[in-house]
Chains A and B, each alone.
Chain A
Amino acid sequence: MHDNLGLPGPVPGPAAAIRLVWVYPDLLSTYGDRGNLLVLVRRAGLRGMAVEVAGVNSDQQVPGDGDIYLLGGGEDLPQVLAARRLRADGGLAAAASRGAVIFAVCAGYQIIGAEFAGAEGEAVPGLGLLDIRSSRGEQRAVGEITAEVDPGLGVPRLTGFENHQGVTWRGPAARPLAAVLDGVGNGDGTEGAYGGRVIGTYLHGPALVRNPGLADLLLGWVAGPLPPVDPRQEELVRQLRTERLASRGATA
């Protein structure tokens, strides 16, 4: 299936290429999740960095030697199935213990935590790669979200769309990714979480599209300090950020 990943042209793959692994697009790709992959490929390409991409379906083994792993959103049943298989597979946990970068969105964010709510609200064990627990809230959070990123990460404020019913608590080994300015996020005024090089967020789908700073954070964790991008190549994204933030009465 995902042998055709919708990538912008062939990407050369020398030995030093960044290895991106898209985890279970057959179960965890509900709405535009491919966008995160395309943004990472593009922003690496703008700096002349080579990228290798592997899409791994739920009937395949998750390779342990990736640099950046992406997990997307999913409905309740696929989410439970994905968690069960990832636990049995062990590849993602092995990669995390090696220090690989993991970026997980929405259902994927909950999966990498210790526990989340299944289709009937029951507690389902997650992968425990991030010190969080999630359960189901009273109301679905649907709409634009704006949040100020933890200053330690040096990433401009987040803008995105959230669509979830999760409530997430952090343990001592996880820090909030951001403080909510507008929207719901984790439910306690914070949004997302990170610990080491593992990041999760409720900004769903193509979260990196409007947040190239977050994409660069992931790339920089793998490749070291990144050269700047030609501003002309970022003009449209900058405009999109400004428009979306302005629609919520915020500035970039």
Chain B
Amino acid sequence: MNPRVPPPRRPGLPLRARLATTVGGAAGRASRLAGRGDGSVIGGVIGLRLKPDLLRLLARGRQVVLVTGTNGKTTTTRLITAALGADGQQVASNAFGANMEAGLVSALARAPDAAMAVLEVDEKHMPAMLEATGARVVALLNLSRDQMDRAAEIWMLARRWRAALAAAQGCHVIANADDPLVAWAAGQAGKVTWVAAGQRWHDDSWCCPQCGSHLRRDGDHWYCGECSNRRPAVSWVLAGDQVIDPADRSWPAGLDLPGRANRSNAVMALAVADLFGISVPQAMAALQHVRSVAGRYTQASRRGCALRLLLAKNPAGWLETLDILAPPPVPVLLAVNAQGPDGRDTSWLWDVDYRRLRGRPVLVTGERRTDLAVRLEADEVAFRVVGGIDEAVDLARAASMEVVANYTAFQQVRAVLGRTV
């Protein structure tokens, strides 16, 4: 490997930090044994209590890549980890989506010898985590409305990203130029590689983040009618199912993961891998082995029905997910909850265009199935309300079924099917 990002020197951990990671690690194992979760948060929480600057200490001397955005964080983190690990290098990563400080601490503590770390970061926490980890690379995927009852408003979020990246001049940003909010957020960073990773959901970027005027669009290009803000010149391009690299070579984006959104995640991962000297064919070979990510896209059999599990948490995510559904008459089960991690407000259902589900069997479940039922009724989509996945399978009597669920509903489906998925 010929890293373009120079490897820093790795000092040892101070004694108290070593103790904090040991105690935290034991707590994580205990949590897993007790069946309380995958143990990726509790260890970090305890470690941070013993040593509040633990993340800084654990990150010191490593090459850290942060991955953030509204959708695709977990998958892209997994893809980058696969690409960077292609030549046998050990890579630390919070592979299960624990993306706040404690999750990052646990991931680094679990892999004390890994010289590289690929860490998914919650959008709101990115500035603080960038500062703490001194990340060499930050990948910005997209920004759109999500869990408005607890997340920051996205124009505000873009402003915070912009300030944080402007302050971190040693950091190399890989940014999706097709998302005007992301492009603006990366606009004052010291070094940016622009990627045309696409944007399917436009409803949060009709107006210029710089001046507020209406943005114009001309094919893939966007520009402000009033100020100088426009789509930057790109180095990497996702064009259909081809990736075009900075040398203008075209490569097929042949992934096992489905859909445009994952090809978009893949081109971002290839651009990050390139920074570390990993060639497109070498990285692509690693990406092709990724089949499911923390349960997403997993196939499972239930009472003779082949299920595919799809996670969709917000309007932009639903849009991409509805794109990849198997064609009718394959039935679709939709499951919606409104617990804390889902956002307690179900208003977002009204931003999803469900008319595309007309004319195929649709089943509805989850703790907020009545909200979803009223939404589908307004879109004139025929559906049946069911108590859960088994009732859906029995009613549908089909060889296969697509299951689309938001966050905690998704975890509930996985729990029913067993932790194997």
Residues of A at under 8 Å CB distance from B? Answer: 1, 6, 8-9, 26-27, 29-35, 38-39, 42, 57-59, 75-78, 81, 142-144, 161, 163, 204-206, 209, 236-237, 239-240, 243
Contact = CB atoms under 8 A, between A and B. Distances in A.
B374 A34 contact: no
B206 A26 contact: yes
B391 interface: no
A236 B369 CA distance: 10
Given A1-B202, A35-B375, 15 more contacts: A8-B355, A8-B380, A9-B380, A29-B203, A31-B148, A31-B347, A32-B349, A32-B351, A34-B350, A35-B347, A38-B350, A78-B155, A143-B344, A236-B373, A240-B371
A18 B406 CA distance: 37
B359 interface: no
A27 B378 CA distance: 24
A31 B145 contact: yes
A144 B371 CA distance: 14
A108 B148 CA distance: 17
Across the A-B interface, the 8 shortest Cβ-Cβ residue pairs = A32-B347, A205-B347, A35-B350, A32-B350, A26-B206, A59-B214, A75-B153, A81-B212
Interface string B116-160: 000000000000000000000000000001001110011110000
Interface in B207-221: 207, 212-214
B379 interface: yes
13 contacts: A8-B380, A9-B380, A31-B348, A32-B348, A32-B349, A33-B350, A35-B349, A76-B153, A81-B212, A161-B345, A206-B347, A236-B373, A240-B374
Contacts of A237: 374
Residue from A8, A27, A204 whose CB has the most chain B CB atoms within 10 Å:
A8
Nearest to B225: A59
B206 A1 contact: yes
B282 interface: no
Contacts of B373: 236, 240
* Range class of the B interface residue count: 35 or more
Nearest to B217: A1
Contact of A209 (B149, B153, B214, B374): B374
Contacts of A33: 350
A57 B344 CA distance: 29
B390 interface: no
B153 A39 contact: no
A143 B347 CA distance: 12
Given A163-B149, A209-B350, A236-B377, A27 B207 contact: yes
A31 B352 CA distance: 10
Nearest to A8: B380
Contacts of A57: 206, 214
B370 interface: yes
A42 B155 contact: no
B353 interface: yes
Nearest to A209: B374
Nearest to B354: A6
B270 to A, nearest CB: 31
A243 B369 CA distance: 11
Contacts of A75: 153-156
A39 B378 contact: yes
A77 B378 CA distance: 31
Residue from B154, B156, B373, B374 whose CB has the most chain A CB atoms within 10 Å:
B374
Nearest to A37: B350
A77 B155 contact: yes
Contacts of B347: 31-32, 35, 161, 204-206
A142 B152 CA distance: 12
A169 B411 CA distance: 44
B355 A205 contact: no
A205 B345 contact: yes
A32 B214 CA distance: 21
A237 to B, nearest CB: 6
A61 to B, nearest CB: 13
Contacts of A38: 350, 378-379
A240 B355 CA distance: 21
A239 B370 contact: yes
A81 B350 contact: no
A144 to B, nearest CB: 8
Contact of A78 (B212, B348, B353, B374): B212
A223 B135 CA distance: 61
A224 to B, nearest CB: 24
A71 to B, nearest CB: 16
A80 to B, nearest CB: 8
A170 B301 CA distance: 60
Nearest to B212: A81
B378 A42 contact: yes
A78 B145 contact: no
Contact of A142 (B149, B202, B212): B149
Nearest to A26: B206
Interface in B271-326: none
B351 A34 contact: yes
A58 B215 CA distance: 11
